[in-house]
Amino acid sequence: MKTILVAINSKYVHTALGLRYVCEFCKTKDLDVTLIEETIQTPLLAVLAEITRAKPDFVGFSVHIWNKAYVYSLIELVRKVLPAAKIAVGGPEVAFEPERIFSEKSEIDFIVQGEGEICFAELLTALENSADKVPLHIAYRDKNGDVQINGGVTVVDDLSALVLPYPDLETIVAENKIVYYECTRGCPFQCSYCLSGISRSVRRRPLEKVLLDLERFMEARVPLVKFVDRTYNLDETYFLPIMHYLAMADTETTFHFEIKADLLSEKTLKFLETVPEGRFQFEIGVQSTHDATLKTIGREHNWEKLADNVERLLANDNIHLHLDLIAGLPHEGLQEFIKSFNDVYGLQPHMLQLGFLKVLQGTVMQSQAQEHGLLYMSEPPYEVVQTKYMAYEELRFLKVLEDVFENTYNTGKFKHVLAYLIKANGGTAFDFYRQLTEWWESRGLYPQGHNVRGVTKLLWEFTCDCYPEEKTNVKEILRFDVFISLPNWQPSWLGWKTAELNEQAMAFWRDKDEVCQYLPDYIFSTWRQIRKNYPIEAFDYNVYSGVAERSIFMADYSDGKCIVKPLVSKHLQNE
């Protein structure tokens, strides 16, 4: 019996971890299973052609919040052109309410409930052997058309039974895709909006197997490995040896972890000071700093400890930190959200992700929707549009603000000019972004797409409209941000001084002894390479001292990142 598993990813760079695990496990049972991975941008008929070309007897789909509509359409087409094939679905969008799913899609024959590696392999084996009994944890319709739950949601207790789901690492690296990985499954926390804690158990893959898996990723030169463990840093005796191993490795691979920052011990924090720059990335789900909200959603944390630990991690300047907030949570009105925003913004993480509550099928939050007055989309992504605590107009405004924030702060390109404008605003960070959002929307800039260069000009236009008295300083600061963040781009409207500095800069570069004070390993190559890797520019505002004074800086891009060096030279006068 030939089986095709179909994974529809949201982006080309993604990989389908769940179906990859199922596929590779089935192969260990000598089952004829093949995986197809495409994206929601792939034309439906192209995916259908890929499926039918294999002439499968069985087709399985993984259904997620981002692909449900696409997969449902594909299922209809498969049933039409392959009427004899069996169709199964699994994944978080279908696992928890089989009766509803069978009602929505009559073409479906089986629903895999929960972690499907073992039970799906058992289903295929049973069908191959023409067995009458459907294995546990596979929901189905009986001969009378009644839905049989058949054991409910399952988990895989022994993660050592699973094999590495990446037999195609060379292809993944060549296509620059992200590798997703998990060393644990389950979560001890019971966040009401999440499905991860439903099993109420955390299962760990044996350390020796984890280290072997990670070694294979590093040997293959995978650029980015994202751990999908819901809370990676639960048990220091388990997670810290993995991190030690990765920190000591000779590799360019970056490893991304989702952590709970207030759980970090002094021992772990001391270790993290020693990690090579760029080796780790941390995503930290703050969600809210409002106590009543955190208690209601089961997400309580020690904010003071969390903030202190984040500040320590940021001070090390070796780990990228991404902090998350969720708008639309119970008991959090606009004023409470503003406080949460300002609290987290005050930490100055590298990224602050503003998300919106999604009322997922099967969660506690779904059962509490009426209590909290949650109005949300009836189809994916099930996003909240109004709550008892926040009006539709307020949530809609935050949606626009999210777009503005993504185009400004989260690019990491405008650090100094945003800080200056927030101070000029005289209020909180949120007050500034509220003003910027109102201006942005008044200009019809939402929901248009914008690139960084375009946003640079928009920030200048915003300054001219809203802070005309600050134009002189802002132009210098904005030019400095462009100088260090957007190499070799010099829009004329920013008033570059490169030409007037050219003769002095040439004299500086000819003085090797002085150059080596700033670049100890400097060796002349070509003038073109010097201009590209070591641009020099003068500014009439010093972003580091906060004083309107003439300053000259060199940007060192020779290692692929920008290192800014103030220049004080007999050839480059600061007067």
pLDDT-wise least confident of 200-214, 436-450, 558-572: 558-572
**Could you read off the pLDDT of 422-450 as tens digits, one per residue?**
999 999 999 999 999 999 999 999 999 99
Query: Which is nearest to 514 in space by CA: 575, 570, 574?
Result: 570
Asked whether the CA dihedral 550, 551, 552, 554 is positive or negative, the reply is: negative
> Which position has the token pair 């023409």?
130
CB 359 within 8 A of CB 369: yes
Q: Residue 575 above 60 pLDDT?
A: no
For residue 446, count other CB atoms closer than 10 A to its CB.
Answer: 17
Alpha-carbon torsion 347, 353, 356, 358, what sign? negative
Average pLDDT across the chain, whole number: 96
Predicted confidence (pLDDT) per residue in 97-132, tens digit: 999 999 999 999 999 999 999 999 999 999 999 998
Among the ranges given (39-53, 188-202, 350-364), the one the predictor scored with the smallest mean pLDDT = 188-202
CA 336 → CA 75, 332, 353, 385, distances in Å?
A: 44, 5, 17, 17
8 Å CB contact between 116 and 133: no
Distance spanning both ends of the chain, measured CA to CA:
81
Q: Among the residues of 31-134, which ranges form H helices?
A: 44-53, 68-81, 98-104, 117-128
CB 550 within 8 A of CB 538: yes
Burial readout 110-131 (b: 16 or more C-beta within 10 A, e: otherwise): bbbbbbbbbbbbbbbbebeeee
Of all residues in the chain, what percent carry a pLDDT higher than 90?
Answer: 93
- Fold adopted by 166-388: pyruvate-formate lyase- activating enzyme (3.80.30)
Percent helix / strand / coil, the chain, rounded to 5: 40, 15, 40
Q: Is the pLDDT of residue 197 over 80?
A: no
User: For residue 361, what pLDDT band results from cuts at 50, 70 and 90?
Assistant: confident
3-state class (DSSP) for residue 566 = strand
Alpha helices (H) in 108-250, listed in sequence order: 117-128, 169-174, 207-219, 236-248
Peptide bond into 381 cis (omega under 30): yes
E-assigned strand segments in 289-402: 320-327, 351-356, 375-376, 384-386
* Contact indicator for 220, 170 with CB cutoff of 8 Å: yes
d(CA 491, CA 488): 10
- Give the helix/strand (H/E) hosting 340: helix 334-345
pLDDT at 525 (0 to 100) = 86
Which residue intervals of 177-329 are DSSP H helices? 207-219, 236-248, 266-272, 291-297, 303-316
Higher-confidence residue of 574 and 423: namely: 423
Strand partners, 459: none
- State whether the Cα torsion 182-184-190-196 is positive or negative: positive
Closest CA to 452 of 509, 390, 393, 409: 409
Q: Which helix (H) or strand (E) holds 481?
A: helix 471-485
Q: How confident is the model at residue 560 (pLDDT cuts 50, 70, 90)?
A: confident
Tokens 């945003």 correspond to: 418
Q: What is the 3-state secondary structure (H, E, C) of 519-559?
A: CCCCCCCCHHHHHHHCCEEEECCECCCCECCCEEEEEECCC
The domains of the chain are located at: 2-148, 166-388, 391-493, 497-575
pLDDT mean over 225-232: 96
- What is the maximum alpha-carbon separation in the chain? 92
- For residues 558 and 439, which has the higher predicted lDDT (pLDDT)? 439
CA distance 142 to 128: 19
| Tokens at 337, concatenated | 């959200």
For 3-7, 451-455, 461-465, 503-507, which range has the lowest pLDDT when averaged over its residues? 503-507
Please give the angle made by the CA atoms of 283, 288 and 289, to the nearest 5 degrees. 110
Query: Is pLDDT at 400 greater than 70 in this prediction?
Result: yes
- What is the rounded average pLDDT of the residues 160-188? 96
Give domain 2-148's CATH architecture: 3-Layer(aba) Sandwich (3.40)
In the chain, count H helices and then E strands: 21, 20
What is the rounded distance in angstroms from the CA atom of residue 477 to the CA atom of residue 110? 60
pLDDT digits (tens, 9 = 90+) for 11-53: 999 999 999 999 999 999 999 999 999 999 999 999 999 999 9
Which pair of structure tokens corresponds to residue 222? 């995978």
- Give the separation between CA 507 and CA 527, rounded to whole angstroms: 12
> Cβ(233)–Cβ(263) under 8 Å?
yes
* pLDDT, tens digit, 9 for 90 and up, residues 273-314: 999 999 999 999 999 999 999 999 998 889 999 999 999 999
pLDDT band at residue 561 under the 50/70/90 scheme: confident
At 481, list the tokens: 């941000």
Give me the count of residues in the chain. Answer: 575
**If residue 423 lies in a helix (H) or strand (E), which one and from where to where?**
helix 415-425
> What is the per-residue pLDDT for 199?
64
Q: How far apart are CA 354 and CA 346, in angstroms?
A: 15
